Structure 1
Amino acid sequence: MMKSHSSSVAPVPTVLPGPSEVYQTAGGVGHRTLWVVCIIMGISSLVFYGMAFRVPAQKRLFHILTAFITTFAFLSYFAMATGDGINFHASKETVSHKHGLPDTEEITYRQVYWARYVDWSVTTPLLLLDLCLLAGLSGANILVAIVADVIMILTGLFAAYGKNDGQKWGWYIWACIAYLVIVYQVVYNGRGAAMNKDQKTKAFFASLAGFTFLLWTIYPIIWGVADGARIASVDAEILAYAVLDVLAKPVFGTWLLITHDSMASTSPSLEGFWTNGFGNQGQIRVGDDDEA
């Protein structure tokens, strides 16, 4: 009888598979984290507004700016926690195969939380304004810092939606350059402006600015391993940003307002339109107390 032999070599497929698809989405940990931070931002906002009512209207500038920061952050996190402000961005990668098989494509769809960028585009200029007013920075320097900040956030958003590595990392570089402009204006020029303040104010500004920019330096690192290289999971991205956002907003705000309220010499006074409406000349005085 003839013996049949089975072949040990698999036949070469005549029909190649289409592109494989991978979805990177938030899991239960990410969703719970968004809700927790949403609640923290909401409670912080109520506390900051309450602190504002404890001081005269003309002394509430820092309180209102800081309360606005956590209010916008609350709205952003509420949007993300409820499934708004999110969409998918696709990236293609060519996968090489052995045994002479042709290359195939792998398409990765990753969730991008664009509501986060909307939040940052509003809250980070307000945060910078807090620091600039504390230092007594000039209006020209404040304007440059805020414009550079908006450019940094927008270029970061463009980078998140880059169609290829050239676009993505090109926008990322521009965002980093804008960040360096912010550091120069607020840290370098701000330190020079703060030299005209009393010793306690100078030390407080140096500590608060150092704390802020240490946190801000971590943000682009997280972006690089999350939206950029897509190494970190979406849950890890959410957790990392959540910790930074809580430190950079509620913790920053609490530190600023408690210390500021104990330092009467740094309390800005806004008269005219701010407290009395039209018909009075508005003025801002930072670092002077009202004199009888």
Structure 2
Amino acid sequence: MAAPLTLDDHPARQIAADWARHLESGRLRSAHTVRAYVATAHRLIAFLGRHHAAPVDQALLARTGVAEMRAYLAYRRQEGLGNNSTARELSAVRGFLLFAGVAQPRVKGPRVKRGVPRPVAPADALDIAEDAATVAALPWLAARDMAVLLLLYGSGLRVGEAMGLTGAALPLGDTLLVHGKGGKTRVVPLLPRVRAAIEDYVRLCPWPMGRGEALFRGAKGGPLRAELVRRAVQGARTRLGLSGRTTPHALRHSFATHLLARGADLRSLQELLGHASLSSTQVYTAVDAAHLLDVYRHAHPRAGG
């Protein structure tokens, strides 16, 4: 006869382990993200065990509702979690419960103070891609969302340009030929991580990649619509507590601003962005100056004097 389970024996931990393997498969998640997400799942399981005074298995996990979620978030807030961190915690919990087949409790995240609009930080750009992929219904859709959003940030594409890519882009190299506005074409860099994400998507996609067919597909095999990309970013920014101005186009802006901050000249940036006029590119000097001034005001010891 098997020994009875104790409060230290939570069968749901196996679900968390399976989730970790799911997150890692196809290199869709970084090791850091997997550790953070799974640690959140373990915290939730341990909390539910104490809350119900019983080992947490699939059946008990399925009973997780609004009351339990609010109690868990209150517990985490008591531990010192701020609004942004709580929003990220809630996003990870939702991803875990979705993987476990649990109906999503309708719990609103904390209100996050909206600051002055600024470029998306590199870590936030990656978080957006990873979060959007986490809630995708199927592994190949998760790989698609990851690839598209990394491409917007890593190569500075417009959404329409990414949607216009076809199977002719395959096999991928170090650069990508992009057809932009006005029928102009340009060559953009393809970073190793972005290339790997696209290759993972192509490997998992159930639809054939003909040279004349859309590279990025919708769930039924047709070309992916830009509106779905915008919705994916909107959902991710809400769950992560980011600014309402964090849009797919903001990822392109961030690509430009970060290159300029690293010393890229305006002419080179104009070519990478596909701007017809240099005046369109010069706006990024103002954006970068505003960002630097903000950093100065917060960091310089005499900035307020």
TM-score, scaled to structure 2: 0.28
Q: Comparing both structures, which one devotes a greater share of its residues to strand?
A: 1
Larger relative contact order, structure 1 or 2 (CA cutoff 8 Å, min sep 6): 1
Structure (1 or 2) with the larger CA radius of gyration = 1
